[in-house]
Amino acid sequence: MVLQPQPKESELVEVVVAKLYEREKMCCDSCGTEITDPSKVFAMSKDGIQSNYVNPGGHVYETVTVMTAQNFELIGNPSKQFSWFPGYAWTIMQCKTCNNHLGWRFTSTMLRPSCFYGLAKSGFKVVIHKRTTPECEFPEYYESGTTYAVEYIPI
């Protein structure tokens, strides 16, 4: 994650206004079905929102963790074998529309959050939808009193 220098207040206002007219969605890389949006991204590991993980087969996955997702199907049963997040069981997620591999759902009966999703960077793309009217509510990441880098999700 690359943090940008904090913008001046006037620049921040421009960015916020611009953001009100667009909405980023994280969509299936092969068919474009909406899976989630960047406001659902959160940091689950000390590395932040994005980490690299290696599966037992040696494949490296760049993974982004999100709180919620939709339009997916789970494949197989939850497994704790080789879990990247200790205490969590993973289940393979694929796109409901085209069966593209999206990532994994992680679940735990003991830990909080009890459920989150690790999306493989190879499985999704960020699509910006331009709006003709601004969104009524501010996105979560502009909550007052909280400072974030403007380009907080360099996907």
Q: Which residues bind Zn ion (CB under 5 A)?
A: 28, 30-31, 33, 95, 97-98, 100
Provide CB contacts within 8 A for 67, sequence distance 6+: 40, 41, 42, 113, 116, 117
- Is-cis flag, bond preceding 38, omega within 30? no
The distance of closest approach from Cβ of residue 100 to Zn ion in the complex, given in angstroms and rounded to an integer, is: 4
Cβ closest to Zn ion, residue 28 vs residue 119: 28
Cβ closest to Zn ion, residue 31 vs residue 111: 31
Contact 89, 72 (CB under 8 A): no
The distance of closest approach from Cβ of residue 104 to Zn ion in the complex, given in angstroms and rounded to an integer, is: 16
Cβ closest to Zn ion, residue 92 vs residue 149: 92
Among residues 154, 140, 150, the alpha carbon closest in space to that of 68 is found at: 140
The distance of closest approach from Cβ of residue 40 to Zn ion in the complex, given in angstroms and rounded to an integer, is: 18
